[in-house]
Amino acid sequence: MHDREFWRQHVEAWRTSGLTQTKYCKRHHLKTGTLGYWSSMLRQKATASEPELVEVGRVEVKKEWQSRPIELVVEGRYLLRLWPGTDRDHMREVLSVLECRQ
């Protein structure tokens, strides 16, 4: 199984090759459907707007909840536990790393 970078390079090489997907895949021993899938996925990723952090207003938190994290599920793939006092810049860094892995 190949990683995202492998497919990004092949999609870019195919697009600049002037070959059809079928001919490119035969030449490089790749599956046409897989190249098409990655081509679509990488195009969607490139055109998607960057997600923004949304600030949530302050609310009164019950004392027994003050030491518990807020849990966020990101795209059904990641669970983030944000403990009270989580630094915003650190959270942005974590989210940017997750974005790169997709």
What is the spatial distance between Cα 48 and Cα 69, in angstroms, rounded to a whole number?
Answer: 29
Do 24 and 35 contact (CB within 8 A), yes or no?
yes
**Which amino acid makes up residue 86?**
T
Domain count along the chain:
2
pLDDT for residue 33 is more than 60: yes
Are the C-beta atoms of residues 92 and 53 closer than 8 Å to each other?
A: yes
The boundaries of the domain holding residue 10 are 4-47
Q: Does 58 fall in a domain?
A: no
- Whether the pTM exceeds 0.75: the reply is no
Instruction: Please check whether residue 55 lies inside any domain of the structure.
Output: no
pLDDT, position 91: 80
The 3-state DSSP composition of the chain as helix, strand, coil percent (nearest 5) reads: 55, 10, 35
Q: What would the two tokens of residue 69 be?
A: 């994290």
**1 pLDDT band (50/70/90 cuts)?**
low
Instruction: Calculate Rg over the CA atoms of the chain.
Output: 20
Segment 7-35 mean pLDDT: 92
94 in a structural domain: yes
